[in-house]
Amino acid sequence: MGRLTEAAAAAGGGGGASAARSAGPPPAPLPPASTSPGCTATMASSEEDGTNGGASEAGEEKEAPGRRRRLGLLATVWLTFYNIAMTAGWLVLAIAMVRFYMEKGTHKGLYKSIQKTLKFFQTFALLEIVHCLIGIVPTSVIVAGVQVSSRIFMVWLITHSIKPIQNEESVVLFLVAWTVTEITRYSFYTFSLLDHLPYFIKWARYNFFIILYPVGVVGELLTIYAALPYVKKTGMFSIRLPNKYNVSFDYYYFLLITMASYIPLFPQLYFHMLRQRRKVLHGEVIVEKDD
């Protein structure tokens, strides 16, 4: 689901689980009134069309200039460190995947060999919700939460929990899409925070998603589909009646609803990203109708 949720934006599309993960240059960390771009704390293929970061200009006017500068500096330093660490983590994951395939010549066993690294860095992305909560990035907490949780869902509640599907080709699809997406996304944020963004990184961010986003979505959907027989047979994560709480939950039908949700979300988010690509790379003025 990552890519879907991730998707209000951007470059990278790998994963519905990803995926409503904003386009447009990342907004500057809150408070300094400087013009240097900041880093949206969103998942891979979903970024918000950020404003210049200041959630409340009126509130900022009441703050002491020194406090604003300190918060801006600390936020920039932390976000730079965070994005460098995440870029490095996904690079390590990419190298491990390539090395495994070159040595084994097969995708079978790939997930098992890289699962610890994947789980660590994808779970580490929960900090992006914290960034929104404390206000150092202007993205909505709800948007960031949905985006990150969709990836967590695919990692922990699908591929980790349902071991028979870990050797499916579809798992490789979304892993490759996620990895390239995240390397591009986090490096884009890092260079933006350093105010030194190479054109290739910008170009990659707003072009790679054209292929990676659909690939990631297909990989996620096929992986969830492959999990359905196992979930139905075992009844995992389901709550049956009668019970003392008098509630029921069927994980099998939950997964069916999750898959169905891709149908309305994918086209909407994908075309949104295409509009953002035109705006950022070609300078087109995009006028979107109010809901």
Catalytic residue among 82, 186, 189, 213: 213
Runs of H (alpha helix) within the chain? 2-5, 57-62, 65-104, 110-124, 127-134, 141-152, 169-193, 199-205, 209-234, 251-282
Structure tokens belonging to residue 199: 């054109």
40, 8 contact by CB (below 8 A): no
Catalytic residue among 220, 252, 262, 270: 220
- What span, in angstroms and rounded, lies between the C-alpha atoms of 44 and 21? 5
Cα angle 221, 20, 26 (rounded to 5 degrees) comes to 140
DSSP β-bridge partners for residue 193: none
213 a catalytic residue: yes
47 a catalytic residue: no
Catalytic positions: 213, 220
